[in-house]
Amino acid sequence: MIFLMDLQMMVLDVIYFIIRNSIRVVLRPRTKPIDGELVLITGAGGGLGQIFAQEFTKHGAEVVLWDINTSSNEQTAKLVREKGGKAYTYTVDVTDRQDVYRNAELVRRDLGRDVTMLVNNAGVVAGERMLDCPDEMIERSMKVNCHALFWTVKAFLPQMKAQNHGHIVTIASVLGLFSTACVEDYCASKFAAVGFHESLAHELLADEVDGVKTTLVCPYIVDTGMFDGCKIREEVEQFLLSPLDPQYCVEQAMNAILVDQPLVCIPRLTYLPFLSRALLPWESNVVTYRFMGSDKCMYPFIEARKQLLLNNSVKVE
Ligand SMILES: NC(=O)C1=CN([C@@H]2O[C@H](COP(=O)(O)OP(=O)(O)OC[C@H]3O[C@@H](n4cnc5c(N)ncnc54)[C@H](OP(=O)(O)O)[C@@H]3O)[C@@H](O)[C@H]2O)C=CC1
Ligand SMILES: CC1=C(/C=C/C(C)=C/C=C/C(C)=C/C=O)C(C)(C)CCC1
């Protein structure tokens, strides 16, 4: 009897959330205020990190900027301060867990308060075909895109849980939900990041830590330079899916974060290949990939990276 009542409640809840989320696509729910929050962004010196820092500042939050590259990180801080915001910079290699724990402690001591929002944004890609890819590059992708999530979450989640207040944001990728050829290191690490994030979100809910929110951000190609050269079929790119403007991508991510949305794919159209991967036979997906030119979309990207490396080594010599 209790089982049947639970089943009925569950079905009603499922229907309620489908309707609620469909309405939310049209009528955006009210955004939460984040003035006074302390937001830590990793990879803050990069394309998206720099814009995230400015967007969080616009909403009144203070930002702690972590990057392995001191000068680009300082550049982000400068942009934040020019906008009247408060930024604190730390040079951190997120793959080095002792460096992460040490700097987390430093942040706590320097600022005398806890980080309340963590944006795991640092990311890398090898940009080599599987068999040409040096082992160290594969390891680096796994360490930056996946292992680092464990270290930063271990460093900052305990205080969020203690206060029952916080937000963990993971910048993954659509390539963490479906894959394509020649980015094995990246796909493996981003699928892992998605798995990590979702399991953590379930853990928080199972433990009834309802004040710590989670948002998984999965963007398509963004024009930051990271995937320069990556190209699908011209007609599809032109009429359906062009690379995202970084500012647009971050604004969409912010919209999701500020309404505590658990998952956002940017643009929305990329939910489709995610669904078709799960629902259609493998071969059906393969023919779709061929038609859309997404089977070989990384070929020009890898060529461009090779060219870049060649030019750089020529310059060094
Ligand atoms: N660009 C795209 O097409 C897409 C990107 N994404 C994801 O968005 C995120 C941001 O990407 P984007 O801004 O384009 O990339 P960028 O390369 O512009 O920025 C990444 C930043 O992370 C830093 N970083 C790299 N390794 C470490 C490390 N070990 N410790 C600390 N910081 C590190 C980089 O420093 P340095 O420059 O010195 O290497 C760089 O400043 C990534 O997670 C990426 O995977 C998702 C979908 C699409
Ligand atoms: C595979 C695939 C597509 C192309 C996806 C591409 C090209 C994604 C690139 C993503 C990047 C570079 C993410 C970085 O994090 C389409 C056209 C959506 C159609 C269906 C399958």
pLDDT digits (tens, 9 = 90+) for 177-236: 999 999 999 999 999 999 999 999 999 999 999 999 999 999 999 999 999 999 999 999
The residue to mutate among 222, 223, 250, having the most atoms of ligand 1 within 8 angstroms of its beta carbon, is 222
In angstroms, rounded to a whole number, what is the distance separating the alpha carbons of residues 129 and 186? 11
**How far does residue 188's CA lie from ligand 2's centre (Å)?**
15
For residue 186, indicate whether it is catalytic.
Answer: yes
224 close to ligand 1 (CB < 6 Angstrom): yes
Query: Tokens in use for 57?
Result: 């500042």
pLDDT category at 316 given cuts 50, 70, 90 is very low
HSE, CB side, 13 Å, CA atoms: give it for residue 76. Answer: 34
In angstroms, rounded to a whole number, what is the distance separating the alpha carbons of residues 105 and 233? 48
**How far does residue 150's CA lie from ligand 1's centre (Å)?**
17
The residue to mutate among 297, 298, 301, 305, having the most atoms of ligand 2 within 8 angstroms of its beta carbon, is 297
Assess: ipTM above 0.95: yes
**How far does residue 65's CA lie from ligand 2's centre (Å)?**
29
**Domains of the chain, CATH where assigned:** 31-315 (3.40.50.720)
pLDDT digits (tens, 9 = 90+) for 96-134: 999 999 999 999 999 999 999 999 999 999 999 999 999
pLDDT exceeding 90 applies to what percent of the chain?
A: 95
**How far does residue 273's CA lie from ligand 1's centre (Å)?**
24
Q: Are 57 and 83 in contact (CB under 8 A)?
A: yes
Q: Are 195 and 291 in contact (CB under 8 A)?
A: no
What contacts 292, CB < 8 A, 6 or more positions away?
232, 233, 236
144 close to ligand 1 (CB < 6 Angstrom): yes
What pLDDT sits at residue 314? Answer: 62
Return the ligand number nearest the Cα of 300. Answer: 2
127 close to ligand 1 (CB < 6 Angstrom): no
Return the ligand number nearest the Cα of 42. Answer: 1
Amino acid at 279: L
**How far does residue 282's CA lie from ligand 1's centre (Å)?**
31
What b/e readout covers 226-263, taking b as 16+ CB neighbours within 10 angstroms? bbbbbbbbeeebeeebebbebeebbebbbebbbbebeb
What contacts 105, CB < 8 A, 6 or more positions away?
none
Q: Which one from 90, 186, 220, 289 is the annotated catalytic residue?
A: 186
Query: Tokens in use for 158?
Result: 């305990």
Q: Are 148 and 95 in contact (CB under 8 A)?
A: yes
pTM of the model: 0.96
69 close to ligand 1 (CB < 6 Angstrom): yes
Residue bearing the CA closest to ligand 2, atom 5? 294
Angle at 208 between CA 218 and CA 154, to 5 degrees: 60
What pLDDT sits at residue 315? Answer: 55
Return the ligand number nearest the Cα of 189. Answer: 1
Q: Are 55 and 31 in contact (CB under 8 A)?
A: no
pLDDT exceeding 70 applies to what percent of the chain?
A: 98
